[in-house]
Amino acid sequence: MHMKASVEKQVALGFGASVATLLVICVFFCWIAENSITAQGWVTHTYEVIAALEQGRAILADAETAERGYLLTGDERFAQDTRKAQSQANDWLATAQRLTADNTEQRKRLDELQPLIARRLALLDNRIQLRREQGLSAAAAAVGTREGAGLSQQISQYISEMQATESQLLKTRQQKEQADARMAEVLVAGGGLLACALGLISFLMVCRDLRLRKSAEERLRQNEERIRLMVENINDYAIILLDTKGNVVNWSAGGDHINGYTEGEMLGRHFSKLYPEAAVRSGFCDEELKIAAERGRCENESWHVRKDGSRFWANAVITAIRGNDGQLRGFVNVTRDLTERNRLTGLLEHERHLMNQLMDSATEDIYFKDKESRFLRISRFHAGRLGFESPAQAVGKSDAEIFSAEHAQQARRDEEEVMRTGRPITKEERETWPDGHVTWALTVKLPLCGPSGDIIGTFGLSRDISERKASEEEIKKLNEDLQRHTAQLEMANKELEAFSYSVSHDLRAPLRHIDGFVKLLEKNATALDERSRRYLAIIADSAQRMGALIDDLLIFSRMGRAEMRQTKVESDSLVHEILESLQSETQGRNIEWKITPLPQIKADPAMLRQVWTNLIANAVKYSRPRDPARIEIGCNEQNGDWVFYVRDNGVGFDMSYAHKLFGVFQRLHRAEEFEGTGIGLANVQRIVLRHGGRVWAEGKLADGAAFFFALPKSAH
pLDDT tens per residue across span 570-609: 999 999 999 998 888 888 899 999 999 999 999 988 889 8
For residue 706, the model assigns a pLDDT of 95
Q: Which of 285, 275, 280 is nearest to 309 (CA)?
A: 275
> Mind spelling out the 3-state secondary structure of 164-207?
HHHHHHHHHHHHHHHHHHHHHHHHHHHHHHCCCCCHHHHHHHHH
Architecture of domain 466-561: Orthogonal Bundle (1.10)
Per-residue confidence at 231, pLDDT binned at 50, 70, 90? low
Q: CA separation (Å) from 553 to 395, 557, 613, 666?
A: 76, 6, 16, 13
For residue 708, the model assigns a pLDDT of 96
Distance of CA 577 to the CA centre of its chain: 61
pLDDT 10s digits, 501-544: 666 666 666 766 676 767 767 776 666 777 776 777 777 766 66
Task: Please give the Cα distance from 380 to 387 (Å, whole number).
Answer: 11
Residue 230: is its pLDDT beyond 80?
no
For residue 28, the model assigns a pLDDT of 66
Task: Please give the Cα distance from 41 to 173 (Å, whole number).
Answer: 10
For residue 199, the model assigns a pLDDT of 58
pLDDT 10s digits, 419-445: 999 899 888 888 777 667 788 888 898
CB 683, CB 614: distance < 8 Å: yes
For residue 661, the model assigns a pLDDT of 83
With pLDDT > 90 as the criterion, what percentage of the chain qualifies? 14
Number of Cβ within 10 Å of residue 67's Cβ equals 25
Q: How large is the average pLDDT for residues 334-357?
A: 83
Per-residue confidence at 401, pLDDT binned at 50, 70, 90? confident
More confident residue, 564 or 687: 687
pLDDT 10s digits, 679-702: 778 888 888 988 889 999 999 988
Residue 8: is its pLDDT beyond 50?
no
Per-residue burial over 230-240, b = 16 or more CB atoms within 10 Å of its CB, e = otherwise = bbbebeebbbb
Q: How large is the average pLDDT for residues 233-241?
A: 78
For residue 6, the model assigns a pLDDT of 43
Q: How large is the average pLDDT for residues 83-91?
A: 77
Indicate the range of 15-19, 160-164, 241-245, 419-423 predicted with least confidence: 15-19
Residue 2: is its pLDDT beyond 50?
no
CATH 3.40.1160.10 fits 234-337, yes or no: no
For residue 10, the model assigns a pLDDT of 46
Per-residue confidence at 452, pLDDT binned at 50, 70, 90? confident
Q: How large is the average pLDDT for residues 162-179?
A: 78
Residue 192: is its pLDDT beyond 80?
no
More confident residue, 519 or 196: 519
For residue 279, the model assigns a pLDDT of 87
Per-residue confidence at 546, pLDDT binned at 50, 70, 90? low
Q: Which of 358, 383, 399, 375 is nearest to 448 (CA)?
A: 375
User: Amino acid letter at 368?
Assistant: F
Backbone angles phi, psi at 180, to 5 degrees: -65, -40
Q: How large is the average pLDDT for residues 53-74?
A: 77
For residue 466, the model assigns a pLDDT of 83
Backbone angles phi, psi at 248, to 5 degrees: -75, 125
Q: How large is the average pLDDT for residues 237-257?
A: 86
CB 710, CB 611: distance < 8 Å: no
For residue 4, the model assigns a pLDDT of 40
More confident residue, 235 or 339: 339
For residue 628, the model assigns a pLDDT of 93
**Which H or E run includes 453?**
none
With pLDDT > 70 as the criterion, what percentage of the chain qualifies? 79
More confident residue, 490 or 282: 282
For residue 3, the model assigns a pLDDT of 40
**Which H or E run includes 115?**
helix 104-134
Per-residue confidence at 716, pLDDT binned at 50, 70, 90? very low
End-to-end CA distance of the chain: 152
pLDDT 10s digits, 263-287: 888 888 998 888 998 888 988 888 9
pLDDT 10s digits, 642-682: 999 999 999 988 888 887 888 665 666 665 566 666 677 88
pLDDT 10s digits, 290-331: 998 899 899 888 899 998 988 888 989 999 999 888 889 899
Q: What is the dihedral of CA 320, 325, 327, 333, to 10 degrees?
A: -20
Indicate the range of 128-142, 336-350, 621-635 predicted with least confidence: 128-142
Which class does domain 563-712 fall in?
Answer: alpha beta
Task: Please give the Cα distance from 288 to 332 (Å, whole number).
Answer: 12
Q: Domain 344-464 carries which CATH code? A: 3.30.450.20
Q: Work out the angle between the directed axes of helices 680-690 and 530-561 (0-180°, nearest 10).
A: 10
Number of Cβ within 10 Å of residue 439's Cβ equals 16
Number of Cβ within 10 Å of residue 287's Cβ equals 13
Q: Where are the domains of the chain?
A: 2-201, 234-337, 344-464, 466-561, 563-712
Q: How large is the average pLDDT for residues 385-391?
A: 84
CB 289, CB 331: distance < 8 Å: yes
CB 362, CB 355: distance < 8 Å: no
